[in-house]
A = this chain, B = another copy of it.
Amino acid sequence: MTSQSNPATGPSRRGFFRGTAALYAAGTAVQGQSQSTAPGDVTRTLARYLVASKPGDLPENVRREGVRTLVNWVGCALGGSREAAVSNALAALTPLYPGGKTTILGRREKLDPLHGALLNGISSHVLDFDDTHLKTVIHPAAPVAPALLALAEQQKVTGAQLLHALVLGCEVECRIGNAVYPAHYDIGWHITGSVGPFGAAVAAGKILGLNEEQMRWALGLAASQPVGLREMFGSMTKSFHPGRAAQNGLTAALLAAHGFTSSEQALEAKRGWARVLSTTQKFEEITGQLGQRFELLLNTYKPFACGIVTHPTIDGCIELRAAHNLKPEQIERVDLDVHPLVEELTGKQAPAAGLEGKFSIYYIAAVALMTGAAGPGQFTDKLVRDSAVNVLREKVHITVDKSLREDQGRVSIRLTDGRILTRNIEHAVGSVEKPMTDTALDAKFLELAAVALSPARARKALDVCRRVESLTDAAAITKATAA
């Protein structure tokens, strides 16, 4: 797979997604061929499909991926629930909503439904650990799930309804994202926040039972509320984006349900969302094969709490450590062959704080070899300053290899006894080609949940998420995850 362009999905400017695009094309084979929807009909066609869709229409593999998406999302929200972005937002808002009844996952505080959605969106994204649709770098669940959980505490929603709405919401975000990516992202929009209101509006709209006209209005109200500039990356406002997108979409659906009118061609109109917020538009990505191909099947889950370009290295280190029961004192030198982006994005030699550790491939390799992991617990100030880790870190060397894909890498370790151990990583774990197993996802969930819940409650919460389709009341999820 060396081509920069795949005819089935159009040119991909980001090499990391080449493998994904190929798999996707192989699995569905026809994207881009169905251009039968006239541009003037995009919003209408989408709304008609959404209103008609029923839980039973979803293929079994899509429902299964929906459950994995939910499990990963709830874990991330629990894991992020004690971060400063969440605490500060709660400090600002709780005084205004003394009687709030909407659960903030992992917290005792409660808010009104709309700001509850905001807060759960913030906490689920703040660790940069949530699910990713690699084709568009959208984090699909973060704007959708919070809107649904807030609604499920307002009215009776079954778990099957919630899962169905979650799938549709993610689907709409990713399809709209496909239509404008990468131009829209390159302009400077944080795509999760700018497409997020559509996903939340659609998901909430399904629960509220919107008819086709109301669904078009909900999409219109969502179109007028994009959130998020990439300029905010590195500040708390980044995680605000998916949260506000959740809130905006939920507001859109509530208003539409009460006759609040909007444009009915919000996506495709001359001054509609896709033309105002992007310089390119592929509308067939939005309406092609609705109900037949599902973008959710391309959703991925991060095994490691740091940038995706470092994952092949981490994979290799953890595998070699486990296979040879390696101890730090055995290691004389570590050589990494890496894609150029690894040096560009994570070339920091001597990080001084936990967050900086995420931007040092040297530290990341050392801590993975030392602990066998790269979760949130590996990026603390304490570990970054640990002298044993630093001794190992200074033994790590990198060689940039332009022939590698971004999800490819090589780790070589020279031991004190003269042996050289090598591991080639073809696809990092967490990619579509080598997804996290359910067992690994469950372990990730439990580690993240431990931030807010006792081990027993964390297990219970995981069990509730896994059983979502059988829940008669989806509010069981929030009940299981409140602190």
Contacts and interface: CB of A to CB of B under 8 A. Distances in A.
Interface in A220-265: 220-221, 223-232, 234-237, 240-241, 244, 254-255, 257-263, 265
Nearest to A223: B229
Given A89-B258, A188-B275, A260-B236, A266 B231 contact: yes
Q: Which of A224, A226, A265 has the most CB of B within 10 A?
A: A224
A272 interface: yes
A237 B254 contact: no
A225 B244 CA distance: 9
Nearest to A253: B92
B237 A262 contact: yes
Given A93-B254, A113-B96, A85 B260 contact: yes
Contacts of A258: 88-89, 91-92
Contacts of A244: 224-225
Q: Which of A193, A221, A257, A273 has the most CB of B within 10 A?
A: A221
A112 interface: yes
Contacts of A388: none
Q: Which of A112, A260, A266 has the most CB of B within 10 A?
A: A260
Nearest to A102: B96
Contacts of A270: 188, 231
A189 B271 CA distance: 8
A344 B272 CA distance: 22
Contact of A263 (B92, B113, B232, B257): B232
Nearest to A221: B237
Contacts of A91: 258-259
B224 A237 contact: yes
B229 A227 contact: no
Given A223-B229, A232-B263, 4 more contacts: A97-B112, A190-B224, A231-B276, A236-B260
The 6 closest A-B pairs by CB, nearest first: A188-B271, A188-B276, A92-B258, A237-B262, A231-B271, A235-B261
Interface of A: 84-85, 88-89, 91-93, 96-99, 112-115, 154, 187-190, 193, 217, 220-221, 223-232, 234-237, 240-241, 244, 254-255, 257-263, 265-266, 269-273, 275-276
